[in-house]
Amino acid sequence: SQGKTPFYKVEVFTAGTGMTVEGDCGLSLIVNKRLADLTNSVDLDIDTLLVIGGSGSLTVQPTDNVALWLKHMSTHIRRIGSICTGAFVLAAAGLLDNRRATTHWWHCANLLTKYPKVQVDSNSIFVRDGNIYTSAGVTTGMDLALDLVEEDLGGAMALNIARALVIFLRRPGGQSQFSVTLKTATPERHSLRELPAWILEHISQPIPIEALANQAAMSLRHFARVFASEFGMTPARYVLEQRVEAARRALVKTKLGQKEIALKCGFGNIEHMRRAFLRITGVPPNTYRNHFHQNLQTDLNSKEGQPHSNS
């Protein structure tokens, strides 16, 4: 707030009986109010309610007091959100029925199994459906928070906050939780295991599906089917995401111009690279480089100013 009147008043609520709560890591938080003390809309006076995640969130049942309270009071709250496995609490209260929602990738399948009425989006970092917001892993709560600030106070304020926190403004909700390398497991078929490395070695060249099928010693039709089964996406999509990842590394770690990067990563020209970047990351190459390259240079300058250790 920089000395000005804060836009938000933040309070911590608990479903427990005490006035402190302890997280899984052992960190304790002082509580402002207990849910048991908030029995009607007059007591409530909440604009935005965010439910945090934790191991306890996974075991909340629809008949538990916290779920019943949330279901009863939800009509008096302008918007409700969750961070990480907090989505399980919203689901237990029935607030995610027939809505799109996300949670930490590790628990997406469990959320869908336990609450089949939820339309689980296992890819997005956060999802908005009506006045209900859900975010993925822990740090995506920051992306969600910036989105909420932008809704309330505009993009300029969200940008100032992001700069103050030295974080990226702002990853779109539809951005993937993973890079292509992280979200694709090692193929079970030996003939496909060398393909990722082969693709990277030839990333500057056209890589048609025929070349990939030949490399895997499979017929074109069989290869397309097996590849999709093993990698969870089409060969064309996989190659595109690998090109974008290569471009991301070059934008951050080198001073090469975008034209040269586009050629080295197989896009052919800047415009093709820009379109691919927007499609995969949600931001254009210029924005990506301006943020991450600047942060990298700042870090390098800081290290150069430090005395060298002999150990």
Write down the pLDDT at residue 24.
79
Write down the pLDDT at residue 300.
38
Q: What gap in Å lies between CA 34 and CA 94, rounded to an integer?
A: 21
Write down the pLDDT at residue 237.
93
* Residues 251, 144, 108, 276, CA torsion sign: negative
Set out the domains of the chain in order of their start, with CATH numbers.
13-165 (3.40.50.880), 180-299 (1.10.10.60)
Q: What gap in Å lies between CA 230 and CA 193, rounded to an integer?
A: 10
Place of tokens 């030839």: 202
Q: What gap in Å lies between CA 216 and CA 203, rounded to an integer?
A: 17
Q: Which of 103, 106, 104, 105 is nearest to 118 (CA)?
A: 103
Q: Which of 21, 20, 19, 51 is nearest to 37 (CA)?
A: 19
Q: Which of 37, 32, 41 is nearest to 13 (CA)?
A: 32
- What is the per-residue DSSP string for 246-272? HHHHHHHH----HHHHHHHTT-SSHHH
Write down the pLDDT at residue 238.
92
Strands (E), the chain: 13-14, 20-22, 28-30, 33-34, 48-51, 79-82, 100-101, 119-120, 126-129, 132-135
Phi, psi of 289 (to 5 degrees): -65, -45
pTM exceeds 0.75 for this model: no
Write down the pLDDT at residue 203.
93
Write down the pLDDT at residue 70.
94
Q: What is the pLDDT along the chain (311 residues), one digit of tens a residue?
A: 566 788 999 999 998 888 998 887 888 999 998 888 877 655 678 899 999 998 889 999 999 999 999 999 899 899 999 999 999 999 999 999 999 999 998 899 999 999 999 999 987 888 999 999 999 988 888 889 988 998 898 877 876 787 677 665 455 555 555 555 545 556 778 888 888 888 988 999 999 999 999 999 999 999 999 998 888 889 999 999 999 988 988 887 788 999 999 999 999 999 999 999 988 887 899 988 886 655 444 433 433 444 333 33
Write down the pLDDT at residue 307.
37
